[in-house]
Structure 1
Amino acid sequence: QGGALVTSTAATVLGSNRLGNFTVENGKADGVVLESGGRLDVLEGHSAQKTRVDDGGTLAVSAGGKATDVTMTSGSALIADSGATVEGTNASGKFSIDGTSGQASGLLLENGGSFTVNAGGQASNTTVGHRGTLMLAAGGSLSGRTQLSKGASMVLNGDVVSTGDIVNAGEIYFDNQTTPDAVLSRAVAKGDSPVTFHKLTTSNLTGQGGTINMRVRLDGSNASDQLVINGGQATGKTWLAFTNVGN
């Protein structure tokens, strides 16, 4: 009953949990409950329905995978990118990811959860909580309100445009083709490593004590990452942290 089920849709698992019987077979999962370290990976071309993700549980949906009728409660984690299809409810209300259009809405990322906006994709009204990560590829975009709570991270892997508001109590990083772990540990390319600077454009920025981590070359070119406020304003308190990536 219940417990930490860790499996993928490639496996065959039949059993019961506190909500009743569940099945994982033939690339389909039905009625799975994830909690206390439990995890379900929905692989490309596979599907899951009626999945409940409670505190400490993780639902990971690969690009080309599909999860419907998902219930995510406080402390649960969703891992996906804009190539996945996911719909359900979280603590903030209804959320969805359309893997065909790359559009995501109402995501709540926390407790190890992460979402990657691929090129051409967009995340609307996103909340990133403690230990949550929002990543954006070059050409990915934001709309509505993007809220970064304390302990949250947003990583930019290229130029990104937000047509709405960014409210930052967490950390924003300008990446340079490093791994997420390297970025989050503040590792950056130096010396002979190529550095491609990025630009974050947003209509409004509200600082709530968060930090924007930017890179700059102090070896003559003075090139740097850029933050552009387009048509709106920057208010509140935001820390700017600069790292020299020149020789």
Structure 2
Amino acid sequence: MELRKPLRLLAGQAPRRHPLRARVLSVVLPCVIIIAAPQAARAQCTTDPVNGGILQNGGTCAANNPVSTGFNIAVSALNGANVTTNGTVTANGGGTGIQATTNATVTANANVTAASTGLIANTGGTIIINAITLANSGGGGAAMIATTGTIIANSTTVNWNGGAAVGVGGVVQATAGGLIQFTPGSSINLSGGFGKLMTADGATSQIIANGLSVNMGASGGMTAATAQNGGSIQLASGSSITFAGGGGNTGLSATGTNSSITATDLSLSVGNGGGDVGVNAASGGQVTLTRGSVTVPGIGGGEIGLRATGANSLITANDVVVSVTGGGGNAGVNATTGGTVTTSGGSVSVVNGAGGLLQNGGNVTMTGTDVTASGNGGFGFLFNGSGNTLQYSNATIVASAASFSVQGGAANISLSNAVAVTNNNTLLETVSGASTTFNAQASTLRGVITTAAGGISTVTLAQNTVWTMTGNSNATNLTNNSSEIIFTPPTTDPTQLSSYKTLIANNYGGAGGSITLNTFLGNDTSPSDRLVINGGAATGSTTLRVLNTTGPGDQTVANGILLVQTVNNATTAPGAFSLAGEVRGGAYDYFLFRGGINGNAPQDWFLR
């Protein structure tokens, strides 16, 4: 049986004559007729009778030729209109390049230049720009404004002259729930000006950038990315922000409750001036960084890497490398007035400043983050004002000044599995009028601890912490819990008392800890390192390990060699101290006694 294909006829088409026959072929039923509606070409856009631009009210149109106006808006779409521009768009004389409003959409496939504002999307309007250059012919103004609208920049270059100042809202503004999105390959190049570059202002306002490159010219007082009043900015997949110069600049800033910035693999460089800040969180704003780097290479002073100021303000940095240089007074991280900086992994390095600066209730938590502070004022951590808290674990602190310096107010310092052995010979210093609580667990420490008159320090060593004491030290309260205090050997004449060290504590508590003392083993006048209890009490149990510093050994005929001394009516509990092992000098063995002979110095401890 022969199968015959159905004949397809287009609408309006007459039957074809068979080439071998003179008659018209008849249609064999049943047949299938497919009617293809002809594709309508996009209509030309409506011309604005006032300025000669495009004013499209509804409908769909395409502008294939360049559009240029002397003022007002070059391309305006409203009420659901769908406009495509394939030619360049130019707005001179203070005009706006493209505006989409009331659910209209404009797609720009050619460059846009504006004297004032580049793009405005509001009231549900959408603007899509594809692989174009957006530029301004004047100075200042905004490149993009999305107010309850959306702007999508696909592989777009924004070249903007900031002039003397950019607008209050910034060069790129998402406000009142607006959205601005940059896809990979996009860049923003700003020359000059001061103010804000990118701003997300208001709840649900967003700027999202993937692989965005931002280059800031020689400008001062500029902030590259600002989230405020509940707005959010997301910088993903290797975006970069670079400042060429100026001073008082800020890279990222989240200000206000529910304002947030997140960045992944961001390369941020802010500097070559003074008073620059890499990342700022204020008044409850939050910034989260994952990997990447924050560099503040200033030539002035007061440079800061990460700064959180105000209650509930938070910066979280995971595996981020922070580097700060400058003339002086710099800080790697700065937490103040209730702000919090939390880091995990990565590193913080500072030249001419502190690794961490905590002020007036600042909070810093670091886990696995090595800190290096060098040059003038190279404190590991510097504290000023009341209520400062530092938690530091699983990392190393290297400082050119003190590892920890409390210069006023109160500080609570907690270390866990930390190393702080490189400094200017000062581990912890507390100035007059300041108060320090210092707790170290499973840590390795080196240097002196000093507490000025009028200052208070409470030091607790726990879980096998080792403190190597390199010079005379004093603490208000000292607890040695299963840890070790090691006096370094004398470096000068071991026969002189001045060659040895003294550790003074108002109160000392031992809980299975040990103290290693250096002693010239000889007669009663032999010098030794000493623990001095000043006006308080020594309690608990501590083992004393005595190392001979070339003493030949000799007979003691009086109290013996003083190891633990009490002053100002201090007391020591019986059994508070014991020897770790045999103590021998030459042919003489020494033993530990509480009190002198004939009942004198009853609270002191001697070798004899």
Normalising by the smaller structure, the TM-score range is 0.5 to 0.7
Q: Which has the larger radius of gyration?
A: 2
Give the one of 457, 467, 483 matched to 1:154.
Answer: 467
Deviations 1:7-58 (A, max 9, x none): xx99x9x89823999553424313686666967577743224364332x555
Q: What residue number does 1:28 align with? A: 304
Q: CA 1:246 to 1:151, structure 2 compared with 1: closer, same or farther past 3 Å?
A: same
Q: CA 1:59 to 1:137, structure 2 compared with 1: closer, same or farther past 3 Å?
A: same
- 1:46 paired to 2:46: no
Q: What residue number does 1:223 align with? A: 527
Cα distance, 1:62 vs structure 2: 6.9
Tell me the amino acid that sits aligned with residue 28 of structure 1.
I
Separation in 1, partners of 2:477, 2:521: 32
Give the one of 514, 520, 543 matched to 1:239.
Answer: 543
Deviations 1:113-140 (A, max 9, x none): 4672359677721011212425316776
- 1:155·1:172 contact (CA, 8 Å) conserved in 2? yes
Tell me the amino acid that sits aligned with residue 90 of structure 1.
L
Cα distance, 1:63 vs structure 2: 7.0
Q: How many residues align?
A: 226
Separation in 1, partners of 2:320, 2:527: 44
Q: CA 1:134 to 1:207, structure 2 compared with 1: closer, same or farther past 3 Å?
A: same
Separation in 2, partners of 1:149, 1:41: 33
- 1:90 paired to 2:390: yes
1:67-106 aligned at under 5 Å gives the runs 67-68=357-358, 69=362, 71-73=364-366, 85-86=382-383, 89-91=389-391, 97-99=405-407, 105-106=411-412
Cα distance, 1:144 vs structure 2: 4.2
Query: 63-72 or 198-207: which moved more?
Result: 63-72
- 1:199 paired to 2:492: no
Deviations 1:102-161 (A, max 9, x none): x76211233224672359677721011212425316776883431101232333333323
- 1:135 paired to 2:447: yes
Deviations 1:50-96 (A, max 9, x none): 64332x5555667753634552145656677769634754349xxx9
Tell me the amino acid that sits aligned with residue 531 of structure 2.
L
- 1:210·1:239 contact (CA, 8 Å) conserved in 2? yes
- 1:79·1:113 contact (CA, 8 Å) conserved in 2? no
Deviations 1:181-212 (A, max 9, x none): xxxxxxx6598898711111212222122111
Separation in 1, partners of 2:477, 2:429: 18
Q: What residue number does 2:155 align with? A: none
Cα distance, 1:225 vs structure 2: 0.5
Q: What residue number does 1:180 align with? A: none
Paired residue secondary structure (1:222): coil
1:116-135 aligned at under 5 Å gives the runs 116-117=427-428, 124-133=436-445, 135=447
Q: CA 1:79 to 1:224, structure 2 compared with 1: closer, same or farther past 3 Å?
A: farther
Separation in 2, partners of 1:149, 1:127: 8
Separation in 2, partners of 1:20, 1:57: 9
Q: Which runs of 5+ in 1 are unaligned?
A: 177-187
Cα distance, 1:232 vs structure 2: 2.8
Q: Percent identity?
A: 19
Separation in 1, partners of 2:511, 2:325: 36
Tell me the amino acid that sits aligned with residue 112 of structure 1.
V
TM-score (norm 2): 0.30
Cα distance, 1:242 vs structure 2: 1.0
Separation in 1, partners of 2:466, 2:323: 24
Q: What residue number does 2:224 align with? A: none
Q: CA 1:159 to 1:191, structure 2 compared with 1: closer, same or farther past 3 Å?
A: closer
Give the one of 101, 112, 118 matched to 2:419.
Answer: 112
Task: Select the structure with the greater relative contact order (CA < 8 A; seq sep ≥ 6).
Answer: 1
- 1:175 paired to 2:482: no
Separation in 2, partners of 1:167, 1:240: 12
Cα distance, 1:166 vs structure 2: 2.6
Q: Which runs of 5+ in 2 are unaligned?
A: 1-263, 280-287, 308-314, 336-340, 393-403, 552-608
Paired residue secondary structure (2:460): strand
Q: CA RMSD in A?
A: 4.7
Q: CA 1:104 to 1:156, structure 2 compared with 1: closer, same or farther past 3 Å?
A: farther
